[in-house]
Chain A
Amino acid sequence: MIRGEKVTLRARRPDDVEHAKRWYADPETARWLIDVGTYDVPAEPMAYGDVRLTVDDTETGTPIGTAGLSGGSPEHRHAMLFVVIGDGAYRGRGYGTDVVRTLCRFAFDDMNLAKVELEVIAGHEAALHLYEGLGFHREVHRRRALWIDGAWRDEYLMGLLAGELR
């Protein structure tokens, strides 16, 4: 387990899939998702290239979302962070910040990555605020990058170097 202050990040299991279905069906969750896909429960043990986790609220043990580091490149030592707080009751209360900070610490301290990157849809103010508060820099502004829900969206690529995590 990877322990944060209020969250626990753990390996996925089959009974998480039901929770994920509920999360992705919630329009408030879905509007900021870049790639939905299915909720994979990986067969292989987690490794450098592919860390996919379920987020539990530590106090109740309830799954509240998902997070991970994908596409880890051993040569370039970076990976793409993703996080979805799927349960609306846990948004806006610091759980997201806890997940991202904890996962970044894991990325640097345990995986020895040099940089964590992520994509965020322009206009997702809560997320931008969260990432910048932890030290992420906006690096690239991709105009009209995504077609979501009937409209074009811009997106930002953000990055955090080892040593910059606040």
Chain B
Amino acid sequence: MNGDLVTLRPMDPGDAAAQHRWFQDPDVTRYTGFRYPPSLTAIETRLRGAEDSTFANPRFAIDRRDTGETIGYVALRDVTPESRAGELDIVIGERSAWNLGFGTDATRTICRYAFRTLGLHRVHLWVFTENAAAIRAYEKAGFVREGVARDRWFKHGRWHDCLLMGLLADEAAP
């Protein structure tokens, strides 16, 4: 599905090499929950075995529309049908694609998918409070700050506060 700057498409085993490269890069994983770098084999196995996007866990690769390059992935986790809520998970793995609006556009695009196609009521996410760039991007996409969970994630030798942000269906851009 198309955003303005990116296209979201199903992942396939061909994405393994790029994903593996991203997960080895500490600057990419700095603000994610990752700790243990996965092996290429592990990623390939997961991509081969993965079913197409399910309601509970829709997952997509992110391609730039201008060059076609795959720059990251985006997913919704733990989507519950009764409460119609899902958690957003996004990584822009290619450093060359940072700070160019791709993250914001991918976020907007998956939210549109969440509300229009899946009929969700709410999308939320957790972001490290020190990840100011991401917080700005999420706010641009319409997310509202809902509160800070103290010492929620241990990484790089210390605990990190995490900000909960939420977007409701009637707040999302059409």
Question: CB atoms of A and B under 8 A apart anywhere in the complex?
Answer: yes
A residues whose Cβ falls under 8 Å from a Cβ of B = 48, 72, 74-77, 110-112
Q: Which residues of A contact B117 (CB under 8 A)?
A: 75
Interface residue? B118 (CB, 8 A): yes
Interface residue? B119 (CB, 8 A): yes
Q: Which residues of B contact A72 (CB under 8 A)?
A: 81
Once bound together, how far apart are the Cα atoms of A111 and B81, in whole Å?
8
Interface residue? B83 (CB, 8 A): yes
Q: Whose C-beta in chain A lies nearest to the C-beta of B81?
A: A74
Once bound together, how far apart are the Cα atoms of A48 and B118, in whole Å?
15
Once bound together, how far apart are the Cα atoms of A48 and B80, in whole Å?
9
Extra pairs beyond A74-B79, A74-B81, A75-B55 (7, CB < 8 Å): A48-B82, A74-B56, A75-B117, A75-B119, A77-B119, A111-B81, A112-B83
Q: Which residues of A contact B55 (CB under 8 A)?
A: 74-75
Q: Which residues of B contact A77 (CB under 8 A)?
A: 81, 119
Let me know if B119 and A112 touch, CB within 8 A.
Answer: no
Let me know if B82 and A110 touch, CB within 8 A.
Answer: yes
Q: Could you give 20 example pairs across A and B, Cβ below 8 Å?
A: A48-B81, A48-B82, A72-B81, A74-B55, A74-B56, A74-B79, A74-B81, A74-B118, A75-B55, A75-B117, A75-B118, A75-B119, A76-B119, A77-B81, A77-B119, A110-B82, A111-B81, A112-B81, A112-B82, A112-B83
- Interface size for chain B: under 10, 10 to 19, 20 to 34, or 35 or more residues? 10 to 19
Once bound together, how far apart are the Cα atoms of A75 and B114, in whole Å?
10
**Quick one: CB contact mask for B107-129 with A, threshold 8 Å, 1 for yes?**
00000000001110000000000
Let me know if B118 and A112 touch, CB within 8 A.
Answer: no
Interface residue? B84 (CB, 8 A): yes
Q: Which residues of A contact B119 (CB under 8 A)?
A: 75-77
Q: Which residues of B contact A112 (CB under 8 A)?
A: 81-84
Question: In whole Å, how far is B15's beta carbon from the nearest beta carbon of chain A?
Answer: 25
Q: Which residues of A contact B82 (CB under 8 A)?
A: 48, 110-112
Once bound together, how far apart are the Cα atoms of A112 and B80, in whole Å?
11
Q: Which residues of A contact B83 (CB under 8 A)?
A: 112
Question: In whole Å, how far is A112's beta carbon from the nearest beta carbon of chain B?
Answer: 5
**Of listed A48, A74, A110, residue having the most chain B CB within 10 A:** A74
**Quick one: CB contact mask for B30-56 with A, threshold 8 Å, 1 for yes?**
000000000000000000000000011
Q: Which residues of A contact B79 (CB under 8 A)?
A: 74
